[in-house]
Chains A and B, each alone.
Chain A
Amino acid sequence: MPDIAVSGRREPPPHESVQGARPRVALVGTPNVGKSAMFGNLTGRYAMVSNYPGTTVEVTRGTASINGLACEIVDTPGMYSLLPITEEERVARSILLAERPSVVIHAMDAKNLERSLPMTLQLLEAGLSVILDLNMMDEAEKLNLKFDLVRLKTELGIPAVATVSTTRRGLGELKKLIATAARPAGAVSPVERLPPAGRPASGERPVDYGPELERALEAVGNQLRGKYSISRRAVALLLLQEDPEILELVKQKEGLRAARIEEILAQAQKHSPEPVNLQIAMRRQEYARRIAGQVIRAGKEGRISLGEWASRLTMNPVTGVPIMLVVLYYGLYQFVGVFGAGTLVDLLEQRVFSGFLNPVFEKAVAYLLPWPVWRELFAGEYGILTLGVRYAIAIVFPIVGTFFLFFSVLEDSGYFPRLAMLVDRVFKKLGLNGRAAIPLVLGLGCGTMATMSTRILETRRERIIATFLLALSIPCSAQLGLIFAMLSGHPAGLLIWGLVVGAVFIVAGQLSARLTPGSPPSFYMEVPPLRIPQIGNVLRKTYMRIEWYFMEIFPLFILASVFIWLGRISGVFQLIISGLEPVVQSLGLPKETAVAILFGFFRRDYGAAGLYDLQTSGQLSGIPVVVAAVTLTLFTPCIAQFSMMVKERGWRFALQAIFFIFPFAFLMGYILNQALTFLGVQI
């Protein structure tokens, strides 16, 4: 993804890692260059996804034995330069600065060597010990590109290796290089370490930025007396590029000298004929172009490849839109909806739980707990085991699991940026840009996770709009699956549900685009080549997300069961339900739906599952099925999503959203019921 993945669980801050003594190896590079595939090659199965402390960015860590040397491997989020723009880049840089990896593997798509070298230069300037990994060599070879690796190594003075992470080509050599680089100086800070043999003395200053800037760099460098985890030159360069975070750090460390530093920086900006930023970027680029020119031999240009041809079909609006619809239809409707929410749920629910486990639970609980009130906590209609665990495992898990699988395939194939570019114009009308396709599609999986992932949107305005739309009109996969299941026999009902929810989505989006202050978003993304997803990579990502689901969401199910139990024995629920009953009845629904709707707040899918139960038992049919489905889709983000809204956007926003959404959902249900009844629609 783009590395959208924002799942993960909280963990102690990584720099307090228990593996402190092991050399740490960091994989860095832009998105989609094969970092996570390489990570998988190096670590095997033992990996952990976690959120970087204080952020929702996913960082994967694992341990590996590299030629007998135990190492910790960190897969960092995609990064384009050491000067961060996005949250992901900020995290990737923090890992490099705070965790001082002994070895940094700069992974790149070999054919993009020229474009990637500027970042290699920045890593070198920072004093890190870098291994260049020219990955995707197979694709470069298809383009008839040849690389003079010996030349590359001597020019840069660092080790380099050609790899194909999908076939493990070059893996042995990469391991050898890691072992050599990590072994002798593992515990020493990279800055203090001597350059490896063969590295030019100018190791930390590969690029000459011209007399003016060099003078400023030296002047700033002389003022830096504090201890930094990267070289003084790199700090000075970041300062010259007006990096606010580094400026803050320097102010803390240098005290009174900071004023002098700022003076030098201001002078440099003033005397430079063009923005210093651009000047620095262009110098690096020139250097990269020179080296790439010496290292790459281009053979005769290959014809337009099959992949490129397919890629164009996915982006051309005439063919791209139908392809998108087919992908979403088979991926979401057939695979997640019909297979996950239908076949798998039936299997687990009917066979495993209703047929086998629930009776066992009932008996065991009845045997172990003589008191009925306690029995109800664990078994019975709403017990932890019979309801909480059953819903989590039999109903939600297959749906969320199939969704994660679909999502990982989309991510790995490079399809997401294509989806984003196709929908960008439409999304702009909703105050979002094409990138928001990611949280919104993710929202079709799990609204809580999607709300977290709105962080990939750049402006606060976009995050607010996306969070609101997720809460209001995007059904999560659990809901979606059950709604499909309820309406699958009623195509007209499904159509009406789709039209109403779709219309609410569009109108709400347009209104929030008008009403939310701020400037309209801009859209830009890299489009990776279309690739056949690697089964291993896809399964690993899916597995890690499912693990996240269990760690993060499963406890909430249990907690919800406990709340429901408390609410019931204290009589609070009865009170709320009797208040809700007239409301749902005014929508033409049986009064039992009040229970489903109330429980829906504890887990969105509890609600949908409750309705499903009502329908299968024959208490809900005809127009009310559609009315209930629409009301429930619009109503409530579940309690987990609500707490995520509070966490990400603050109490004020979350409460405002809820106070709008609750009455609005019922109002829409009311109007829909009136309209359908009036028109005499048969469902």
Chain B
Amino acid sequence: MPRLSSSSPASPALTLSRLRPGQKGLITALEGKDSRTLHKLMAMGILPGMTIKVVQNSPSWVVQLGYTQLTFDNQIAGAIQIHVTP
């Protein structure tokens, strides 16, 4: 299982899927079973160190990353580890 992380988070690992709409987090690591998906996330600019904001979580996830919006499913939300920020 590839684990791509830039730094080990100080707080316990939390994945994006725990956030509610309106909440923000700092991406600490990308983790998942499928390395193609990770590759795609990297190419789309989802990288450790970035701030990600949840716009909605149903029926699919919609997040704001800078001026870009991305949509993905639960499985991918579960692969993004974050650190909640105010």
**Is B9 an interface residue, CB under 8 A from the partner?**
no
- Which residues does B use to contact A, with CB under 8 Å? 2, 4-6, 30, 34, 36-37, 39-45, 47-49, 55-56, 58-60, 62, 65-73, 75-76
Q: Which residue in A316, A433, A527 is a CB contact (below 8 Å) of B70?
A: A527
Establish whether residues B42 and A522, one from each chain, have CB atoms under 8 Å apart when the complex forms: no
Stretch at the interface among A67-75, A80-88, A220-228, A566-574: A80-88
- Beta-carbon contact of B60 and A425 below 8 Å: yes
The answer to whether B39 touches A282, judged by C-beta atoms less than 8 angstroms apart, is no
Q: A115-B66, A317-B58 are in contact. Are A421 and B71 (CB under 8 A)?
A: yes
Find the B residue at minimum CB distance from A143: B67
Whether A527 lies near B69 (C-beta < 8 A) is yes
Determine whether the beta carbon of A85 is less than 8 Å from that of B72. no
30 A–B contact pairs at CB < 8 A?
A80-B43, A109-B67, A111-B67, A112-B68, A274-B4, A274-B6, A275-B4, A278-B6, A278-B30, A281-B43, A282-B48, A285-B45, A312-B55, A315-B55, A315-B56, A315-B62, A316-B56, A317-B58, A422-B60, A424-B60, A425-B59, A434-B71, A434-B73, A522-B72, A524-B40, A524-B72, A525-B70, A526-B69, A526-B70, A527-B62
Per the CB 8 Å criterion, the residue count for chain A at the interface is: 39
Assess whether B42 is in contact with A281, with CB atoms less than 8 Å apart.
Answer: yes
A282 touches B47 (CB 8 A): yes
CB within 8 Å of B: which A50-90 residues? 80-81, 83, 85
What per-residue 1/0 map shows which CB atoms of A525-537 lie under 8 Å from chain B? 1110000000000
Number of A-B contacts (CB under 8 A): 108
Q: Which of B40, B58, B59, B66 has the most CB of A within 10 A?
A: B59
- The CA-CA distance from A83 to B68 in the complex, in Å, is 21
- The reply to whether B71 and A417 contact each other, CB–CB distance below 8 Å, is yes
| A110 nearest in chain B by CB position | B67
- Is A523 in the interface zone, CB < 8 Å from B? yes
Docked complex Cα distance between A114 and B47 (Å)? 13
Q: Which of A422-468 contact B (CB under 8 A)?
A: 422, 424-425, 428, 433-434, 458
> Are A526 and B68 in contact, with the CB atoms below 8 A?
yes
B10 CB to closest chain A CB, in angstroms?
18
Interfacial residues, chain A to chain B (CB-CB below 8 A) = 80-81, 83, 85, 109, 111-112, 114-115, 118, 143, 274-275, 277-278, 281-282, 285, 311-312, 315-317, 417, 420-422, 424-425, 428, 433-434, 458, 522-527
Across the interface, which residues of A come within 8 angstroms of B68, CB to CB?
112, 115, 526
Q: Which of A278, A428, A458 contacts B73 (CB 8 A)?
A: A428
Q: How far is the CB of B25 from chain A (nearest CB, A)?
A: 17
* B16 → chain A closest CB, angstroms: 12
Contacts of B44 in A (CB 8 A): 80, 524, 526
Q: How far is the CA of A203 from the CA of B29 in the complex (A)?
A: 31
A-B contact sample (8 more), CB < 8 A, given A281-B47, A523-B73, A524-B37: A115-B68, A274-B4, A278-B48, A285-B47, A317-B59, A421-B60, A421-B71, A525-B70
